[in-house]
């Protein structure tokens, strides 16, 4: 099964309640929230306050992608605000990402590590069995609307070859053309910002990505009865 996670980064923030409702009713499986601190990435978005507001308006699970230099200090605030998943970047974790995973687990939140296109997957090896998800970046983080980097496709397969069986989320430049490529490589959660919020019908946009993605799966992989 493939799940679609619209990224609120490309939403109209003057109509946040409406935008969230639109994707929720349009078939979103998760809501992806891109938190940027202006330090780890050259852009600033929002913090736990907005995550809390979104949590009040939606039943969807909140998938918080922390593009911040100090996830350990702020994980608690995002958990309190209603995060169901927290992804932190391996690039900020130093030599002990396990410490941050422990903190996220203690908060009752599902832990995930995000990894940039040019960071070796071997950095994840020591902690892979403790993660609920790996977020494979298919653009360099910081901005929505960038072009998908095809060179990341073998990385998704490599992660499966390392034995990782939980969710692989892919983030950046996902649309109906790139979605089947990442799903074929082993992705199970697709983030899309501009390809959903940039379209007049969010329902049609989500359906187009889901249909394109599930078109490459076998009936069994699509959840059909054997
Ligand atoms: C990039 C963010 C992505 C981005 C996706 O730093 O992590 O979630 O908003 O946007 P699109 O789908 O427009 O590439
Ligand atoms: Zn993201």
Q: What residue ranges define each of the domains in the chain, with the CATH number in brackets?
A: 3-217 (3.20.20.70)
Q: Whose CA is nearest to atom 1 of ligand 1?
A: 141
Ligand 1 atom with least separation from CA of 192: 12
* DSSP assignment of 3-42: EEEEBGGGS-GGGHHHHHHHHHHTT-SEEEEEEEBSSSSS
Q: Annotated catalytic, 171?
A: yes
36 Cα: distance to centroid of ligand 2 (angstroms): 9
- pLDDT for 225: 59
d(CA 62, CA 55): 7
Strands of the sheet with 61-67, listed across from one edge: 3-6, 189-192, 167-171, 133-137, 110-115, 85-89, 61-67, 30-36
Question: Per-residue pLDDT tens for 151-206?
Answer: 999 999 999 999 999 999 999 999 999 999 999 999 999 999 999 999 999 999 99
Residue 138 three-state SS: coil
CA-36 nearest atom, ligand 1: 6
Active-site choice (34, 37, 55, 167): 34
- Residues whose beta carbons lie less than 5 angstroms from ion ligand 2: 34, 65, 171
Query: pLDDT tens, 90-129?
Result: 999 998 999 999 999 999 999 999 999 999 999 999 999 9
């Amino acid at each position: 099964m493939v799940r679609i996670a619209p990224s609120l980064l490309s939403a109209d923030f003057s109509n946040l309640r409406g935008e969230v409702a639109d994707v929720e009713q349009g078939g979103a499986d998760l809501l992806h929230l891109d938190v940027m601190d202006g330090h780890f990435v050259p852009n600033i978005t929002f913090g736990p306050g907005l995550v809390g507001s979104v949590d009040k308006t939606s039943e969807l699970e909140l998938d918080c992608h922390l593009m911040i230099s100090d996830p350990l200090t702020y994980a608690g605030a995002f958990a309190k605000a209603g995060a169901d998943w927290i992804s932190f970047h391996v690039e900020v974790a130093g030599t002990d990402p396990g410490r941050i995973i422990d903190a996220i687990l203690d908060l009752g939140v599902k832990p995930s590590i995000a990894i940039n296109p040019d960071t070796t997957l071997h950095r994840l090896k020591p902690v892979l069995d403790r993660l609920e998800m790996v977020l494979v970046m298919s653009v360099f983080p910081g901005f929505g609307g960038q072009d998908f980097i095809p060179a990341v496709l073998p990385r998704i397969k490599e992660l499966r070859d390392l034995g990782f069986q939980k969710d692989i989320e892919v983030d950046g430049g996902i649309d109906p053309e790139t979605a089947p490529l990442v799903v074929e490589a082993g992705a199970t959660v697709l983030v899309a910002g501009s390809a959903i919020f940039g379209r007049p019908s969010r329902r049609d946009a989500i359906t187009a990505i889901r249909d394109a993605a599930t078109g490459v799966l076998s009936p069994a992989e699509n959840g059909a009865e054997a």
